[in-house]
Amino acid sequence: MSTELRNFLSLSYEELEELNLKAKEQRKQRVAADKIQEERLKYLTDQKGIKAVTVMFSDLEGRLHTLDYDKKFLVKSFDNLTFDGSSIRGFTAQRESDLRLGIDWSAFYFAPADIFGAGKALVFGEVIDKNGSAYTGDMRGVLKSFAATQFKDNGYNLNAANEIEGFLFEGVDAEKKFPEKGRFDYVNTGGYYHSLPGDPLRTFIDSVAEIQRAMGFENEKDHPEVAPSQFEINYTYGDVVTAADQIQLYKLICRQVATQMGMTASFLPKPVVGVNGSGMHTNMSITKEGKNLFWDPKGEEKLSSFGWDFVDRILTHGNDICLLMNSSVNSYRRLDPHFEAPNQIKASAVDRGSMVRIPIGNEKSSRVEVRSVAPDANPYMVLYSIFKSGLDGDTAKLENLRQAERYLPDNIYTAIENFRNASWTTKLLGEDVKARFADLKQASADRCPRLLGTFVKPSEVQFHHEVYNQFLWNQF
């Protein structure tokens, strides 16, 4: 179809980076919400080249949902956006289906036209219940509220950065077609750091990195990972809600670039048995008035007593929250000690099999790294559960807690049982949301092989919550 009569906005990547970094700085500086709202509405009104705004939110399992609103409609009706919550897995029942979408104007992104379409901007939404309160099943809202309370009550800034690994496979919709083929096909077999300029994997990584840079991610490094066709593209720290939003955008960008290249970006934790799986190592710190509370040059591994208390509480609740960090059947294939799996509930500066690692750091970079997180988990739920556990959880009266011989489950059934039986997860999520999440995971487990075995089974891919195909989900 001819586009010569259209005149929608299409900014250069350099212009996009400048705009997105400015928006990110406003978010970092906690500029008043009403001021940012006024500024964004003025931009949308004045910028004739914008045709639509994509509003994004995530369901209970972490699936990203998007709705495109006509720009003129959104400007007039942004405070009265409704949607059918009963159509979203894990949200409301049909009899109580109406929910609202609020706009988090601070989480506004100026989008590359070649990826998201010309004349579009992106913004994250907040799910609101019928009575006007935050919806309890919207984990983004739960995380945002928790972070705001920590800042208000204690002056804490919660910071996170995630190292998200994935695989690039031959063909579009490789996950959906797995039941037919029974395998995934690599695009590159070079391995760690080995990828020639211009080959498919390097081209993919370069393209994703360019888009991230344009969207204000502030990239650090990118490279092929240990397994064939595996990648990792790192970017800088952000406040905890920004960090979770960027995980959702990262995976969306990767999938879109891969599709445009005729390939599939997959975030299955262990799509191929016999090679390293994909993790989402989660780096965390807490600052107050510019001071890193995890840093102590005289502390063990230069981590402060505050930091070690944080670690001890995470270790105490490791089994309780394992299902939140590893929420798919396939993720338990990754927790295999033969492939550097972080399945030991202990803390270490050197042992990469530990659930928690204390990386080498200084006053600026001192942090705690939780390694036993899968890339398909709900990022808002992951960051909320770890920070909440580390700050407000219990500390087990267990001798040598940090090095005790304890392990995470090697199957989802045990993880579900631990999750259901833990009083801590009820405090984390409330009885209703906890039960809904556990029921979703139970249904996923029951459709898949109880014993994982040697081969990846079609059912664990077909019914994986990140395979975006509602038709498949209805084939029960």
Asked if residue 46 is part of any domain, the answer here is yes
Residues 198 and 235 occupy one common structural domain: yes
Provide the angle, in degrees to the nearest 10, between the axes of the packed helices 200-214 and 240-260.
140
| Residue 285, helix vs strand vs coil | strand
- Per the CB < 8 A criterion, the answer to whether 399 and 158 are in contact is no
Residue 254 shares a structural domain with residue 313: yes
Kindly state whether residues 192 and 303 are assigned to the same domain.
yes
pLDDT exceeds cutoff 80 at 328: yes
Q: How confident is the model at residue 110 (pLDDT cuts 50, 70, 90)?
A: very high
- Is residue 394 included in any domain, yes or no? yes
**pLDDT the model gives residue 474:** 60
Q: Which of 100, 135, 170 is the last residue of a domain?
A: 135
Query: pLDDT band for position 454 (50/70/90)?
Result: confident
For residue 55, being part of any structural domain is answered with yes
Percent of the chain with pLDDT strictly greater than 90 = 74
Q: Of 78, 101, 135, which one is at a domain's C-terminal end? A: 135
Domain identity same for 242 and 388: yes
Q: 128 and 187: one domain?
A: no
Q: What is the pLDDT of residue 476?
A: 47
Determine which of 5-19, 360-374, 388-402 has the lowest per-residue pLDDT on average: 5-19
Of the listed ranges 288-292, 313-317, 359-363, the one predicted with least confidence: 359-363
Rounded mean pLDDT, 9-31: 95
Q: What is the pLDDT of residue 462?
A: 85
What would the DSSP string read from start to end of 43-82?
Answer: HHHH-TT--EEEEEEE-TT--EEEEEEEHHHHHHHTT-EE
Q: Based on the fold, state whether residues 192 and 293 are members of the same structural domain.
A: yes
The residues near 169 (Cβ < 8 Å, ≥ 6 apart) are: 184, 185, 186, 187, 229, 263, 264, 266, 271
pLDDT digits (tens, 9 = 90+) for 373-415: 999 999 999 999 999 999 999 999 988 999 999 999 999 999 9
Structurally, the chain folds into a number of domains equal to 2
210 and 276 inside one domain:
yes
More confident residue, 7 or 389: 389
Same domain, 195 and 340: yes
Residue 29 burial (CB count, 10 A): 7
Predicted pLDDT at 451: 87
Residues 123 and 189 in one domain: no
Give, in order, the Cα–Cα distances in Å from 381 to each of 234, 296, 326, 371: 21, 29, 11, 15
CATH number of the domain where residue 31 is located: 3.10.20.70
Written as six digits, the tokens of 296 are 């102590």
End-to-end CA separation in angstroms for the chain: 40
Is the dihedral angle over the CA atoms 369, 375, 379, 384 positive or is it negative?
Answer: negative
Strands 230-235 and 156-170: antiparallel
For residue 195, is pLDDT > 90?
Answer: no
Complete DSSP assignment for 353-402: TEEEE-----TTT--EEE----TTS-HHHHHHHHHHHHHHS-----TTTT
- In eight-state DSSP terms, residue 186 is B
Q: 423's torsion region: left (phi>0), alpha (psi -120 to 50) or beta? A: alpha
Same domain, 106 and 246: no
Q: Tokens 């994250």 belong to which residue? A: 124
Q: Please indicate, yes or no, whether residues 377 and 254 belong to a single structural domain of this protein.
A: yes
Task: For tokens 């299409």, name the residue.
Answer: 10
Asked whether the predicted pLDDT for residue 149 surpasses 90, the reply is yes
Kindly state whether residue 144 falls inside one of the protein's structural domains. Answer: no
Model pLDDT, residue 470: 62
Q: Could you tell me which residues are beta bridge partners of residue 81?
A: 101
Write the pLDDT tens digit of every residue in 162-176: 999 999 999 999 998
Q: Which of 135, 169, 201 corresponds to the end of one domain?
A: 135
Residues 84 and 205 in one domain: no
Residue 98 domain-assigned?
A: yes
Q: Would you say residue 146 lies in a domain?
A: no
Q: Where residue 217 falls among pLDDT bands split at 50, 70, 90?
A: very high
In-domain check, residue 243: yes
What residues make up the domain containing 84? 13-135
Q: Where residue 209 sits, what CATH number does that domain have?
A: 3.30.590.10
| Residue 425 belongs to some domain of the structure | yes
Give 198: exposed, middle or buried? Use CB within 10 Å, 0-12, 13-18, 19+.
exposed
3-state class (DSSP) for residue 346: strand
Q: Which residue, among 390, 398, 393, has the nearest Cα to 369 in the 3D structure?
A: 390
